[in-house]
Copies of this chain bind each other. A is one copy, B any other.
Amino acid sequence: MCTCLLIDILTMLNINEIRNDFPIFQREVKPGVPLVYLDSTATSQKPLAVIEAMNDFYRRSNANIHRGVHTLAEEATELYEQSRVRIARFINASAAHQIIYTRNTTESINLVAYSWGRAHLKAGDLVILTEMEHHSNLVPWHILQAERGIELEFIPVTDDGLLDLEAYKTLLARSPKLVSFAHMSNVLGTINPAAEIIRLAHAAGAVTVVDAAQSVPHFKVDVQALEADFLAFSAHKMCGPTGIGVLYGKTALLESMPPFLGGGDMIKEVKLRSFRPNSLPYKFEAGTPAIAEAVGFGAAVDYLTSVGMDAIAAHEHEITEYALERLEEVPGVRVFGPSAQHKGGVTAFTLDGVHPHDVAQILDRDGVAVRAGHHCAQPLHEKFGIPASSRASFYLYNTKAEIDLLVNGIYKVKEMFG
């Protein structure tokens, strides 16, 4: 424990202080068993600052926004819009109106598929995805394929869990209209070379969507440096609340798109039989939005900024290296994905002869929370010839001591099923 602490200080995170920011670590999973939370890829824990921001909102400023002139409505509107500005700054968007609030990454990608996709894609048009996509970046395109007859092709994943960029270049020769890909895989942990993928897509005349659900929470993402056309992420994976996510888009693209959901707030004018859409970002925000959640999202972005995204990334890298080292020493464990160099804080693995659900269930006895299943990436699991895997994933609050508990737990599983 001592050495870990020391190392964490070297990477600039005071891990004890950070853990104190998260009230859930005061809970015991069962009496005497502390929580070892290794499931941040599914959803992250929330610091007090985020919980309190929403708490305060409901206790002091709660009102509907935009259309009210009373004090609470003014306060609520200001808080809601300030968060948008902070989120824009966090990903270096040039304007706040490029931040469209959605429910989550999934809705953000669906928004692109419904609005941009239905305006621009017709039968035979090619959309390039990858073999490592989350279902959220597959099913919206399956729906469009069934409806419109678009074609889908997939950048293959190599055995060591990287995208095959040569195969990508071959696909690009077929003039795709869209390239949509995960910045970081939620199973392999692979951090894909997003800037290069986008540069090549643009050279081939394609628009790009970055599924940034796993990147924006874990390292500094700069939408302008990436030249991303669209980029999607969820608050709940980055210390923020459930119920809110973001679609970032280039202004010209967003402006050219038809509205998606119709209703209050997204309109400029409504007659009985017609409407005129509002300007950005409101055009895409129909009905009462997730107001308290936007306030919480702003607090989350502030929290992450105050800790420092580079320090978070360095910390996670160190934990991941250590986890790979420890897991690979366990006989019967097979870890998927690339080496630590190309990888974020995700380790998906199988254990010979034991189903991942049983691994996860038995680890849970020691308070170790890992996820088991296909992690919403069935095609990727199929590719690797497995129906499911166990996945331990890391965030700013995890320690090497927790990795040791994970590995001890896996030995116990082996014993039970031995």
- Which residues of A line the B interface, CB within 8 A? 23-24, 27, 29-30, 35, 37, 39, 42-43, 45-46, 50-51, 54-55, 58-60, 62-64, 67-73, 103-107, 109-110, 113-114, 131, 134-136, 138-143, 145, 152, 154, 234, 236, 241-244, 259, 261-267, 269-275, 286-293, 357, 360-361, 363-364, 367-373, 375-376, 378-379, 382
Contacts and interface: CB of A to CB of B under 8 A. Distances in A.
Contacts of A288: 43, 104, 106, 234, 236, 242
A69 B357 contact: yes
Copies per complex of this chain: 2
Nearest to A104: B287
A290 B293 CA distance: 10
Contact of A142 (B50, B154, B262): B262
A70 B286 contact: no
A29 B259 CA distance: 37
A241 B294 CA distance: 12
6 contacts: A73-B371, A103-B287, A103-B289, A104-B287, A134-B264, A152-B272
B143 A293 contact: no
A106 B285 CA distance: 10
Contacts of A266: 139
Contact of A64 (B43, B51, B63, B269): B43
A73 B272 contact: no
Given A29-B72, A242-B291, A242-B293, 8 more contacts: A30-B71, A37-B72, A51-B58, A70-B368, A103-B243, A110-B261, A134-B263, A264-B376
A414 to B, nearest CB: 18
Nearest to A151: B273
Nearest to A26: B59
Given A106-B264, A287-B107, A360-B69, A382 B63 contact: no
Contact of A379 (B71, B271, B371): B271
A370 B293 contact: no
Contacts of A105: 287
A270 B361 contact: no
A135 B261 contact: no
Given A360-B69, A369-B73, A379-B271, A264 B43 contact: no
Contacts of A234: 287-288
B71 A289 contact: no
A137 to B, nearest CB: 8
A141 B272 CA distance: 10
A129 to B, nearest CB: 8
Q: Of residues A51, A106, A110, A289, which shows the largest number of chain B Cβ atoms within 10 Å of its Cβ?
A: A106
A273 B369 contact: no
Question: What 5 A-B pairs are tightest by C-beta distance, nearest first?
Answer: A106-B287, A139-B262, A243-B290, A106-B263, A243-B243
A289 B290 CA distance: 12
A416 to B, nearest CB: 15
Given A242-B293, A263-B110, A62 B136 contact: no
Contacts of A68: 39, 42, 360, 369, 371-372
Nearest to A27: B60
